[in-house]
Amino acid sequence: MSDLQRLERHACFGGWQDVYRHHSASLGCAMNFGVYLPPQARQRPCSVLYWLSGLGCTEQNFITKAGAQRRASELGLILVAPDTSPRGAAVADDPAYDLGQGAGFYVNATQAPWSAHYRMYDYVVEELPALIEAAFAVRPGLRGVAGHSMGGHGALVVALRNPGRYRSVSAFAPIVAPSRVPWGEKAFSAYLGSDRTTWAAYDAVALVQQATGERLPLLVDQGEADEFLGRELHPEWLQQACALVGHPLTLRRHAEYDHGYYFVASFIDDHLDWHARALAG
């Protein structure tokens, strides 16, 4: 905790939008994360919603484009938005936008050279929440997770793999079956190797089919004008898997909306309300 450094502070809807940097033991590099502290955090512990961003994003995309702070201020939600991958000169990278820095895919890589740093699953599930819960006044155990695109994939995966750790989960335009689409096949081949049986641990459709015990309700929003809808996203696969096993899913499809943050900003209040209800306990 001694290396936690605040890089930015902005007054926002009665609270603070901050950006911090720290050294990540999981990733072996410095990492940034944004944290919105609502005004209620001055008087009492608050519940936390973790936001996982998509390909090519940093912690800045969500905090500057989603417009989530106003509603989070009203609801008393802390919002935490980490970067999407390890970064730095010593961290492996690739010239393409969909592999390497900015494209961590929220997995623990097992293949060189990626395995030296790319352990985003451990970072978002274990290390970052432990840091947040030590540094800020948060309500113990009351966590939600949400995300967009690659981050929607990450949110679904970490919630489905960790029953009881999260009280709520939602996603915008998630990659629901990365094992079966070009983005995921490229990333998983590099990070996890050629044995596709290992990929299922990071595939939401596969995880829904394997889930046991209490099933956490899923909220998914998808734009019908999304340029990646038929190639990379396929929300109907998640819908079919949930129907097959009786997993609760609210899938909302919106005409004319594309893949970007205008779409996220249009429906972010609904997602914050969804999480606030689940985290009220």
DSSP 47: E
* Residues contacting residue 242 through CB under 8 Å, at least 6 positions apart: 208, 218, 248, 249
pLDDT single digits (tens) 205-242:
999 998 877 899 999 999 999 999 999 999 999 999 99
What CA–CA distance (Å, rounded) separates 13 from 194? 48
Q: Name the catalytic one among 117, 153, 226, 271.
A: 226
Q: Is 226 a catalytic residue?
A: yes
Do 30 and 44 form a contact (C-beta atoms < 8 A)? no
Mean pLDDT of 16-37: 98
Q: Name the catalytic one among 22, 148, 247, 259.
A: 259
Output the pTM of the full model: 0.97
What CA–CA distance (Å, rounded) separates 269 from 215? 24
Q: Name the catalytic one among 26, 149, 170, 179.
A: 149
At residue 63, the pLDDT reads: 98
What CA–CA distance (Å, rounded) separates 177 from 45? 36
At residue 281, the pLDDT reads: 67
Tokens matching residue 255: 């005409």
* Residues contacting residue 187 through CB under 8 Å, at least 6 positions apart: 98, 99, 103, 105, 107, 178
Do 144 and 278 form a contact (C-beta atoms < 8 A)? yes
What CA–CA distance (Å, rounded) separates 48 from 279? 8
Mean pLDDT of 29-54: 98
**Is 269 a residue whose pLDDT tops 80?**
yes
Tokens matching residue 20: 């911090």
Q: Is 94 a catalytic residue?
A: no
At residue 94, the pLDDT reads: 97
Give burial (CB, 10 Å; 0-12/13-18/19+) of 211: middle
- Domains of the chain by start residue, with CATH: 5-279 (3.40.50.1820)
**Is 185 a residue whose pLDDT tops 70?**
yes
pLDDT single digits (tens) 147-165:
999 999 999 999 999 999 9
H helix or E strand, kind and range, residue 56: none
Q: Is 149 a catalytic residue?
A: yes
Mean pLDDT of 186-197: 98
At residue 2, the pLDDT reads: 57
* pLDDT band with cut points at 50, 70 and 90 for residue 1: very low
